[in-house]
Amino acid sequence: MTLPHSPFPCPQRGPRSPPSQGDTEDFTWAPVSEDQQAEESCKCNGWKNPNPSPTPPRADLQQIIVSLTESCRSCSHALAAHVSHLENVSEEEMNRLLGIVLDVEYLFTCVHREEDADTKQVYFYLFKLLRKSILQRGKPVVEGSLEKKPPFEKPSIEQGVNNFVQYKFSHLPPKERQTIVELAKMFLNRINYWHLEAPSQRRLRSPNDDISGYKENYTRWLCYCNVPQFCDSLPRYETAQVFGRTLLRSVFTVMRRQLLEQARQEKDKLPLEKRTLILTHFPKFLSMLEEEVYSQNSPIWDQDFLSASSRTSQLGIQTVISPPPVAGTVSYNSSSTSLEQQNGGSTSPSCRGVSGLETNPGEKRKMNDSHILEETKKPRVMGDIPLELIHEVMSTITDPAAMLGPETNFLSAHSARDEAARLEERRGVIEFHVVGNSLSQKPNKKVLMWLVGLQNVFSHQLPRMPKEYITRLVFDPKHKTLALIKDGRVIGGICFRMFPSQGFTEIVFCAVTSNEQVKGYGTHLMNHLKEYHIKHDILNFLTYADEYAIGYFKKQGFSKEIKIPKTKYVGYIKDYEGATLMGCELNPRIPYTEFSVIIKKQKEIIKKLIERKQAQIRKVYPGLSCFKDGVRQIPIESIPGIRETGWKPSGREKSREARDPEQLYSTLRSILQQVKI
């Protein structure tokens, strides 16, 4: 079949925009029905407009609407004959087929514009696959030489990097280990969005390498990872989750060099903390990982790998997945992979030997011994509280029979702002749901009712915002809203738009209906939103707050100091006149919905520890009589019994003690004389 030239761009990254009417009027995917083909032996595969628009399209010409009686330029049959087999097709199926049509148009352009023969061949294969799925009304399934389904190698790159972090850094303190986790997340993110070089380019650069094996992985990467980024009808997989050591070996050297070169070129644009992380720690991290990638007996690529230290199983690496912000048939979920082995089992030393670790048994033993020595040599922090005492106090404050005083069933005057809302959520009085409109599937009636309720709440509570503008954003598929539901109706919500590739979310609207305010709902709403974004690995909020909302956002941890680079959000976030840009950086280690409970419990623990210390001293000293003699002040450490309580002078007070009064007098006297001169 001969296809006309299509002006659609062929993106390599990011979302796509739907074609205009002028782009598609010359070529319409409307295959002839089977009955029509059987009766008249029609060989036409698609209806073609008898009056095609000029190329390139002209904006001054009026668009001609095509009717079902228009004849095809190829077979002279009416358009109705081409679509008669689609009369009983459901709307959902029709939308799916139209989505595949758009993907075919994209691949058609890619085939015509691609210069590399291997890449062009893959594009053409996928083009024919999608065209066939349209004609047969089936789902596209990759077949032939690509019969093997993901994952193509185990362990995957993601699991190998997780094992590497365990193997090399499990002995580090939590803060330093968290830095390594951030580096690992950064590396996995770059792998997922790394554009592989074509086999022909690799053949020129490394003629001695195994080109056939690389070509096979390159083809799989195009079909399962790269092309699905702009063709929603194809299932998408993350590179780090479906490929393993073989692909990583083939790209690591080039990738490492380009990453470090890019970091050096853009160092002035990076924030100070990111600059230290990338320029200081990242090169060393990549060098250590490179040794394990190319080592023949590295244990991190063993499928039965388990860390020697069980405490590192609490650590986790989340692969940063930033899907294009378009409504499609494929759902993208943030992958959270624990550093603990996924099968959850345990491996004995003998099993490890069988799996290949016996080739270097001393290395694992050395790591265990060094870890034990590290623990034994670690100096005890002065004034640190024994863990047994903490557990004893915890058992006391959590046991109602052991706690004296008034009943705590009712909220105290000093309870947290969100305490009442938290209790209502536990009793089922209120609910929280993330809702949004969708073009790929029809929302259910309840979601649509909630969206209308949210639109009404925002319009009523934000009278300065045009109602049409609020409606457009609430029902925009790119925006989502965290809805607060009470007694089946919407009483509040936060409308937001996520920009995963930029690392932030824009908060657009935030409101609670007036008769439900001052109940902690606003704080609890924001805490739920923070936890939702931590699960999706987006750790920055941005919003434009007017003069009435600044106080609320300050209470929720927002400030005017924006932590992310300006280049990340300029052109993405919506500007509002007379409003203040505020930001909030999330800590993934904080459970925000229970944060106030944790702080309250910590205060109770400290209070009980103070009471225990006071009970241990049990000594009463006479009052201070020095003030009767005219002394105006005394050092704190001279108070009888103060040191027995555990008090220690701070560094500033120690430095004050070290100063000689005579020396200070002479110094100040000389300064005074110099000033007089």
Alpha carbon distances (Å) from 291 to 170, 288, 337, 339, 668: 18, 5, 23, 20, 62
**Catalytic option among 506, 561, 594, 662:** 506
* Phi, psi for 451 (deg, rounded to 5): -65, -40
* DSSP E strand stretches across 191-349: 316-319, 335-338
Using CA atoms, how far apart are residues 67 and 82, in angstroms rounded to an integer? 12
CA 467 vs CA 455, 481, 537: distances in Å: 8, 16, 32
HSE-up (13 A, CA, CB side) for residue 105 = 22
| CA 149 vs CA 141, 145, 243, 319, 435: distances in Å | 10, 11, 11, 21, 33
Cβ proximity of 66 and 49 under 8 Å? yes
**Known catalytic membership, residue 506:** yes
The sheet carrying 580-585 orders its strands as: 430-435, 479-486, 489-499, 504-512, 540-545, 580-585
Residue 29 tokens, joined: 């995917």
Those residues with Cβ within 8 angstroms of residue 368's Cβ, 6 or more apart along the chain or in another chain: 308
Structure tokens at 598: 């944790």
- Rounded to whole angstroms, the Cα distance separating 96 from 90 reads 10
What is the 3-state composition of the chain as percent helix, strand, coil, each rounded to the nearest 5?
50, 10, 40
Distances in Å between the Cα of 352 and the Cα atoms of 14, 156, 218, 312 are: 43, 19, 33, 19
- Tokens, residue 227: 């092309």
Q: Give just the sign of the alpha carbon dihedral 317, 321, 322, 327.
A: negative
User: Three-class SS of residue 581?
Assistant: strand
Find out whether 560 and 520 touch, Cβ atoms under 8 Å: no
Q: Are 512 and 484 in contact (CB under 8 A)?
A: yes
Q: Closest by alpha carbon to 166, among 307, 367, 297, 11?
A: 307
Coil vs helix vs strand at 517: coil
Torsion sign across C-alpha atoms 665, 666, 671, 674: positive
Tally of CA atoms within 13 A in the half-sphere of 375 that contains its CB:
9
Rounded Cα gap, residues 517 and 528, in angstroms: 17
| Phi, psi (rounded to 5 degrees) for 504 | -150, 165
CA 532 – CA 547 distance, rounded (Å): 27
- Euclidean distance between the first and final Cα of the chain, in Å? 100
What's the CA gap between 675 and 673, in Å, rounded?
A: 5
DSSP letter at 559 equals: B
Q: Using an 8 Å Cβ cutoff, are 7 and 56 in contact? A: yes
Transcribe 536-579 into DSSP letters.
TT--EEEEEE-TTTHHHHHHTT-BS---S-HHHHTTTSPP-TT-
What residue has token string 């019969």? Answer: 147
Give me the count of residues in the chain. Answer: 677
- Is the bond leading into 151 cis (omega within 30 degrees of zero)? yes
Half-sphere exposure of 597 (CA within 13 A, CB side): 15
So which residues are the catalytic ones? Answer: 506
